[in-house]
């Protein structure tokens, strides 16, 4: 380690910063202590300085919360601009979603060639995805590769869970506190906390009596879980459950799936890349990214621009079949017809088509009916699942589906689960019960803005934010892919890059103009929230009891949480705001 006593940009002696890094970095504990003691032996005052500085808050230009795709890219860009920056991450590794969600079968449902950073053509070319939809372990490896390749780790503090973030009106900076009582100060605060990072904990009566092991999909043990020969109960049939069911069924002696509501799932048609197919795809990367930028969801889905009424019944059928089968597949089923998410008749045609497919696959008619979503759920109204053999798995002898709307789940017992009519015995229970989406991670932190207003209070009737990027009353703070942006309705890596690039241009301009404090105006924010709601109300999305609407969390306000009109429309908005001198923001 290099020792030097020069002041660095954060105003803290660099060797103290380095020691601080060592204390919260990825090295193992023994190694850290060894280095620290060696330094103290050479220069005993190091320890005193270290302790003294530890008592003071460490000051940075920018603090970033969260080391997922968003936090790492924000860090990369902030460092490039020459800001002193520290990224705080609760986990003991980088990766965000892909660090925590290690359940069997976890993989992305946006094609990996799209669900990856576009900022570095070199990175695009050197990284080799193995499959069309990469598995979790490979995505986590990719994110770790990015952290190493761009030398981001020295700026990342792991095992640091942010508990408080309070704006200091006098000194115009953020004071951030952690669960371990560390303090940090920064001029800018960027919340890269993710849209789906607060798991919905099972609130099941009697769970503490259960003698077997239980797991949540989003808090999966690193060492994995061996289901071989076990009787497993799984609750939840959203994207996580749908990915897990086929894999657990292959290992377990018996799997019982508890379904509260059926959702639509479409086949992924996942395939392994060959050297030739990957090389060909990579040679077209610029074109692919450009098409993604102009697509509603930030990934090219070959959208049909015709409404259903503009096609004959034969053409409609051919379109649906094409998209259901290999060449289409996955989220291409969201773009069968231009009016699919706005016209109930068109949507019903798509829903009926998929239900027929389910009935063709699932041999037991009663199970097939249970797996068919009810008529009040529009196709795509809840986030579509993309699966590999989900419906086929219910043809196995060792898999049973239980409809817990008809036979409610009452409680956990010592040996398993009890529904109104039945006692089930399980060696393991798996919860795939989802997340407190979009607002959960921000509300989990005690965020206080100007004059001590709290975000929890401000958002008690639903999130109010401008462009999903900033919040009035919370100066010098950004949210990446926050509520009111396309975020969860889009290829989120694309949306992350769009946000971070916009934030960096904003900060460059602010620096140029000597701006010390900025925030959206309350008026701009109210207009944006109303606009988002009006756009959502033109679609069928609000009809579903989805996590998009906050409907999966008891007591959460029912508000459509994302910007529904697509990535290109949204990007044009934020570019216009920028071109007009950051209209809707106030500066001082």
Q: How far is the CB of 198 from ligand N01 (least distance, A)?
A: 11
Please report, as residue ranges, which positions from 367 to 406 form the binding site for ligand N01 (by CB under 6 A). 383, 404
521 touching ligand N01, by CB under 6 A: no
Name the residue nearer to ligand N01 (CB basis): 380 or 520: 380
Q: How far is the CB of 550 from ligand N01 (least distance, A)?
A: 11
**Taking the chain, what is the end-to-end CA distance rounded to the nearest angstrom?**
41
Binding mask 187-216 for ligand N01 (x = CB under 6 A): ---------x--------------------
Name the residue nearer to ligand N01 (CB basis): 220 or 435: 435
261 touching ligand N01, by CB under 6 A: yes
Q: How far is the CB of 413 from ligand N01 (least distance, A)?
A: 16
239 touching ligand N01, by CB under 6 A: yes
Contact 195, 437 (CB under 8 A): yes
Exposure string for 390-412, b = 16+ CB within 10 A, e = fewer: bbebbeeeebbbbbbeeeebbeb
**Residue 569: left if φ>0, alpha if ψ -120 to 50, beta else—which one?**
alpha
What's the rounded Cα separation, in Å, for the pair 414 and 419? Answer: 14
- Candidates 2-10, 13-21, 234-242, 493-501; binding stretch for ligand N01 (CB under 6 A): 234-242
- Candidates 122-130, 163-171, 231-239, 478-486; binding stretch for ligand N01 (CB under 6 A): 231-239
Tokens of 128: 């080799």
What's the rounded Cα separation, in Å, for the pair 421 and 34? Answer: 60
Q: Could you give the angle at the alpha carbon of 499 between the alpha carbons of 498 and 501, nearest 5°? A: 70
499 touching ligand N01, by CB under 6 A: no
Name the residue nearer to ligand N01 (CB basis): 528 or 547: 547
Sign of CA dihedral 372, 376, 380, 381: negative
- Choice from 66, 68, 104, 241 touching ligand N01 (CB under 6 A): 241
264 touching ligand N01, by CB under 6 A: no
- Choice from 547, 560, 563, 570 touching ligand N01 (CB under 6 A): 547
Sign of CA dihedral 145, 151, 154, 157: negative
What's the rounded Cα separation, in Å, for the pair 209 and 206? Answer: 5
How far does CA 147 lie from the centroid of its chain? 18
Distance set, CA 321 to CA 69, 132, 495 (Å) = 34, 20, 30
Residue 118 φ/ψ, nearest 5 degrees = -110, 0
Name the residue nearer to ligand N01 (CB basis): 175 or 239: 239
- Choice from 112, 116, 197, 237 touching ligand N01 (CB under 6 A): 237
Please report, as residue ranges, which positions from 552 to 571 form the binding site for ligand N01 (by CB under 6 A). 552
Tokens of 573: 């908005």
Say which DSSP state 491 is in. -
Tokens of 260: 């509260």
Q: Residues 6 or more apart from 43 whose CB is under 8 A from it? A: 3
Q: How far is the CB of 507 from ligand N01 (least distance, A)?
A: 30
Q: How far is the CB of 68 from ligand N01 (least distance, A)?
A: 13
486 touching ligand N01, by CB under 6 A: no
260 touching ligand N01, by CB under 6 A: yes
Q: How far is the CB of 389 from ligand N01 (least distance, A)?
A: 14
418 touching ligand N01, by CB under 6 A: no
Contact 192, 68 (CB under 8 A): yes
Tokens of 307: 């409404």
Q: How far is the CB of 404 from ligand N01 (least distance, A)?
A: 6
- Kind and range of the H or E element at 249? helix 239-251
Contact 363, 395 (CB under 8 A): yes
432 touching ligand N01, by CB under 6 A: yes
434 touching ligand N01, by CB under 6 A: yes
Name the residue nearer to ligand N01 (CB basis): 158 or 404: 404
347 touching ligand N01, by CB under 6 A: no
By CB under 6 A, name the binding residues for ligand N01.
108-109, 196, 217, 235-241, 243, 260-261, 383, 404, 432-435, 488, 547, 552
């Amino acid at each position: 380690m290099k020792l030097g006593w020069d002041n660095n940009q954060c105003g803290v002696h660099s060797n103290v910063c380095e020691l601080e890094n060592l204390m919260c970095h990825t090295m193992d504990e023994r190694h850290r202590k060894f280095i620290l003691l060696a330094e103290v032996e050479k220069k005993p005052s190091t320890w005193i300085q270290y302790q003294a500085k530890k008592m003071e808050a460490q000051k940075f230009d920018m603090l970033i919360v969260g080391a997922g795709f968003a936090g790492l890219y924000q860090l990369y860009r902030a460092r490039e601009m020459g800001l002193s920056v520290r990224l705080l991450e609760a986990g003991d590794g980088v990766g965000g979603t892909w660090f925590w969600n290690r359940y069997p079968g976890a993989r992305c449902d946006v094609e990996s060639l799209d669900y990856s950073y576009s900022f570095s053509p070199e990175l695009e070319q050197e990284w080799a995805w193995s499959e069309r939809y990469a598995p979790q372990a490979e995505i986590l490896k990719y994110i770790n590769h990015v952290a190493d390749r761009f030398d981001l780790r020295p700026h990342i503090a792991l095992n640091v869970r942010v508990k408080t973030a309070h704006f200091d009106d006098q000194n115009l900076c953020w004071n951030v506190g952690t669960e371990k009582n560390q303090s940090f100060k920064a001029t800018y605060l960027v919340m890269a906390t993710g849209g789906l990072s607060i798991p919905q904990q099972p609130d099941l009566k009697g769970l503490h009596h259960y003698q077997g092991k239980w797991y949540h999909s989003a808090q999966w043990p690193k060492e994995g879980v061996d289901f071989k020969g076990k009787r497993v109960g799984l609750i939840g049939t959203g994207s996580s459950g749908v990915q897990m069911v086929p894999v657990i069924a292959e290992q377990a002696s018996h799997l019982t799936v508890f379904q509260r509501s059926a959702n639509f799932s479409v086949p992924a048609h996942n395939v392994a890349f060959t050297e030739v197919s990957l090389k060909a795809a990579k040679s077209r990367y610029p074109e692919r990214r450009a098409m993604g930028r102009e697509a509603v969801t930030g990934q090219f889905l070959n959208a049909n621009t015709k409404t259903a009424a503009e096609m004959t019944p034969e053409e409609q059928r051919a379109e649906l079949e094409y998209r259901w089968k290999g060449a289409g597949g996955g989220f291409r089923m969201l773009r069968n017809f231009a009016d699919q998410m706005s016209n109930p008749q068109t949507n019903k045609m798509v829903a009926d088509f998929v239900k027929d497919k389910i009935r063709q696959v699932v041999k037991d008619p009663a199970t097939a009916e249970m797996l068919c979503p009810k008529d009040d759920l529009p196709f795509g109204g809840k986030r579509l699942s993309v699966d590999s053999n989900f419906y086929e798995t219910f043809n196995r002898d060792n898999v049973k589906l239980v409809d817990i709307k008809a036979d409610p789940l009452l409680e956990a017992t010592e040996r398993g689960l009890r529904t109104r009519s039945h006692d089930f015995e399980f060696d393991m229970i798996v919860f795939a019960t989802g997340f407190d989406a979009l607002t959960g991670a921000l509300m989990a932190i005690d965020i206080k803005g100007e004059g001590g207003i709290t975000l929890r209070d401000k958002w008690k009737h639903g999130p109010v934010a401008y462009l999903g990027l900033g919040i009035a009353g919370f100066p010098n703070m950004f949210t990446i892919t926050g509520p009111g942006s396309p975020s969860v309705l889009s290829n989120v890596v694309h949306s992350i890059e769009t946000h971070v690039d916009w934030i960096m241009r904003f900060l460059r301009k602010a620096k140029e103009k000597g701006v010390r404090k900025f925030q959206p105006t309350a008026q701009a924010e109210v207009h944006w929230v109303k606009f988002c709601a009006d756009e959502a109300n033109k679609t069928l999305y609000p009809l579903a009891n989805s996590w998009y609407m906050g409907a999966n969390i008891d007591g959460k306000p029912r508000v459509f949480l994302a910007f529904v009109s697509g990535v290109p429309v949204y990007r044009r908005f934020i570019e216009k705001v920028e071109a007009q001198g950051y209209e809707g923001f106030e500066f001082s």
